[in-house]
Structure 1
């Protein structure tokens, strides 16, 4: 025991209840700040929503891919992604091209015209995550990501 009545492991860190309190207060502030990230002027007329950010992030970080691959990463049905891709393709934000190795498949990518605006839109969040994660060891990063995933899964229970 430490002198202030906490266990030694809590004296150096944060107790579970204090952690819960802190995160319950922090999460709404974080979500509020993320929601205030302005859509670039050149994308404002496209009626983009937060669900589009994840799709764009996968295409920016992982490169062009099929609708099925996007659906798997987004954890939604391929029909849902197909509708989003169709809508964004008609608007010129995304490009759909036949896969050279299998003409039955379509490869989705961000159009060159809109790539800088989308990259800029995501850059603020990516920069904040980079500043938060770079000081951590790879093991600490893994634990942090695993903890956020466990929290997300916990929200689905009950």
Structure 2
């Protein structure tokens, strides 16, 4: 078996475990019962790291349609997790942000994964980190 085949075998066995662990990540008690799932983490991460964003900006970053983001934002706004307000320059556009009441819980939820990624990536050089991230993106595109 070639080293490429061995690596593929290892990754085929590893990926389902990683996905399973991500799906079992405990939602913070403050957010329990709000019908949240790991799919919301990307939305929350963009709002936490990049600040308030428009629906179209979120859709582009999440690589989904604006309608999909609008539905998610509407649901999360009704639950008080997100806040939606008018864009200061264009009242037709909405700006979405995390509600202050849930920001700390979301930050803590994301921090668990961030800590694990930091442990995995810190020992690598900048070039190795870039290669790792690019490899994951290439895999995502290919699948």
Range of TM-score over shorter length: over 0.9
What corresponds to 1:47 in structure 2?
A: 35
**More displaced stretch, 100-109 vs 58-67:** 100-109
What corresponds to 1:63 in structure 2?
A: 51
TM-score by length of 2: 0.94
- Residue of structure 2 aligned with 1:73, choices 61, 73, 93: 61
CA contact (8 A) 2:56 2:66 kept: yes
CA contact (8 A) 2:51 2:97 kept: yes
TM-score by length of 1: 0.85
Q: Does 1:108 align with 2:88?
A: no
What corresponds to 2:141 in structure 1?
A: 153
Structure 1 spans left out of the alignment, 5+ residues:
1-13
What corresponds to 2:132 in structure 1?
A: 144
Regions of 4+ moved over 4 Å: none
Q: Using the TM superposition, give the Cα deviation of residue 90 of structure 1 relative to its aligned residue in structure 2, in angstroms.
A: 0.8
Q: Distance in 1 between matches of 2:93 and 2:142?
A: 36
Question: What's the Cα RMSD here?
Answer: 1.3
Query: Aligned pair count?
Result: 142
Give the greater-gyration-radius structure (CA).
1
- Residue of structure 2 aligned with 1:33, choices 17, 21, 29: 21
CA contact (8 A) 2:22 2:38 kept: no
Partner-residue secondary structure (3-state), 2:32: helix
What corresponds to 1:118 in structure 2?
A: 106
Q: Distance in 2 between matches of 1:139 and 1:152?
A: 20
